[in-house]
Amino acid sequence: MKYVSTRGGAGAVSAAEAIVAGLAPDRGLYVPETLPKLFGEDGDGFDMAAVTQRGYYSAAEQTLLAYFKDFSRSEIETCAAGAYDEKFDTPEIAPVTKAGGAYFLELWHGSTAAFKDMALSILPYLLKLAVHKIREDKKIVILTATSGDTGKAALAGFADVPGTEIIVFYPSDGVSAVQKRQMITQVGANVHVFGIRGNFDDAQTGVKSIFSDRHFAEELAAHDVRLSSANSINIGRLIPQVAYYVNSWIRLMVAGEIAKGESINVCVPTGNFGNILAAWYAKQLGVPIARLLCASNENKVLTDFIRTGVYDTKREFVLTSSPSMDILVSSNLERLLWHLSGGDGERILDMMRSLDTEGSFDAGDLAHSSLSEFHAGHAPMLRSHAELARLWNEERYLIDTHTAVAYTVWKDYAEETGDHTKTLIASTASPYKFAGSVAISLGLGREENEFAYIEKIREHTGVPVPYGLMNLDKKPVLHGEVIFKSDIKNAVKRSV
């Protein structure tokens, strides 16, 4: 299987080459030239019994092998074994909990207490193998923009990995206190963290511009440096996310919650569109997903696009209590549009140019004819906070603010449509990751800082604090620099 650019201006490459490159030379995103199918009569076959016997490892291995065909089974097995180990606080890796009439896919049991651990635990293993496969002898510099969770997970995954440096840029006032503290206290000789004066889109745009700067790439190459990414623009970050939707569907059948082959809906809180695109990829594998519910907060650019076909970033940017979704430019939507267009790179390039120059694009008939499998909704903060409190008060199940957005959107969808298909909700972070907003939602009153809220929630609920968040406020700050977007390139130069 080869990978091609969504913008049609780069040749087909192997999975290993796509993983090492991160972004295609024409600024497009790498996508599989053809989509594999594992389930159903025309699928290549999936060993479900192996998942019941070996758990998450088998689901991940089989999913990755379907997409990364230049990796051997033994290589993928080694990657999965190294990634999904004791750094997760449950042997299930990504358990599913039934509550509030839905099924919550808990993706936050890794070392950083957020869903990014699921993919960023395995990406360093995939990248090291990929570098070896393509005989790359340059130092790999991982360049990443984060809205909060990717940064810490990437830092933890790549810290002190030989032959790499990792540089993370985050919006200095656009992440939670816990997220920020996780990043600025990260240890590692190859670790570099910078705050950006601006929002996530500023950080992401700045990083993307570096990837498309050929002169800068040549300058780095002269010093034996090559850039790559740990964002979901990297196909090696995105594909591992497909595995947890595959695993969850099988687990629901094994547990008798759904009948064999029964369809489910999937609801995902998303800003950059990667996590819901992974669910769409799972559907293409043959997992019977009926509807994909795209949940947004007040920054509802995706909701408006799915409903109208017009993607318009010319709107107020709102800082919310679900900051990882405070995004107006959703990178991974480009991949979906490429697939829906039948691989029309020229059309995708035109839309992305319009987005860059005008701040908007109209997908026209492409959106209206092809997005029917998606439903989009948004949840204002007060509504999602109320649902978070109600779920705890009535069922003693505690969720974070991003998951609360998805839960609210799902409830609205079921009420509006009468569709009561069993639904899997992606629970993307521990409630302790956004403790201040969660505590206020629960009516626990004001505290002096985010870390006092953590203790307040623990006392009130008895829910254990994830080990990765314990005593975080007592760790020394190692990365305190805050820069302007225009200084990103200089920061990279200083770091490598």
The average confidence (pLDDT) of the chain is 94
Q: Which domains does the chain have, with CATH numbers?
A: 96-113+237-464 (3.40.50.1100)
User: How do residues 197-208 score in pLDDT, each as one tens digit?
Assistant: 999 889 988 988
Residue 45's pLDDT is 85
How far apart CA 23 and CA 21 sit, in angstroms, is 6
Question: At residue 423, does pLDDT exceed 80?
Answer: yes
Average pLDDT over residues 90-112: 97
How far apart CA 345 and CA 385 sit, in angstroms, is 41
> CB–CB of 295/406 below 8 Å?
yes
Beta-sheet pairing, 225-228 with 139-145? parallel
Question: At residue 41, does pLDDT exceed 80?
Answer: no
Stated length of the chain:
496
How far apart CA 145 and CA 159 sit, in angstroms, is 16
Q: What confidence tier does 365 reach under pLDDT thresholds 50, 70, 90?
A: confident
Residue 31's contacts (CB-CB under 8 Å, 6 or more residues apart) are 3, 4, 5, 6, 235, 335, 338, 339
Q: What confidence tier does 150 reach under pLDDT thresholds 50, 70, 90?
A: confident
Average pLDDT over residues 102-129: 95
Helix 333-340 × helix 345-358 angle, to 10°: 140
Average pLDDT over residues 246-250: 97
Q: What confidence tier does 267 reach under pLDDT thresholds 50, 70, 90?
A: very high
Question: At residue 43, does pLDDT exceed 80?
Answer: no
Residue 186's pLDDT is 95
Q: What confidence tier does 39 reach under pLDDT thresholds 50, 70, 90?
A: very high
Give percent above pLDDT 70 in the chain: 100
How far apart CA 213 and CA 393 sit, in angstroms, is 52
Question: At residue 42, does pLDDT exceed 80?
Answer: no
Residue 316's pLDDT is 95
Residue 99, strand partner residues: 102
How far apart CA 269 and CA 406 sit, in angstroms, is 5
Residue 214's pLDDT is 86
Residue 21's pLDDT is 92
How far apart CA 145 and CA 326 sit, in angstroms, is 13
Neighbours of 457 (CB within 10 A): 23
Question: At residue 194, does pLDDT exceed 90?
Answer: yes
Buried b (16+ CB within 10 A) or exposed e, 291-319: bbbbbbbbbbbbbbbbeebebbbeeebee
User: How do residues 313-331 score in pLDDT, each as one tens digit?
Assistant: 999 999 999 988 999 999 9
User: How big is the CA angle at 259 (ends 254 and 263), to the nearest 5 degrees?
Assistant: 110
Question: At residue 308, does pLDDT exceed 90?
Answer: yes
Question: At residue 60, does pLDDT exceed 90?
Answer: yes
Question: At residue 458, does pLDDT exceed 80?
Answer: yes
How far apart CA 258 and CA 456 sit, in angstroms, is 37
Question: At residue 148, does pLDDT exceed 80?
Answer: no
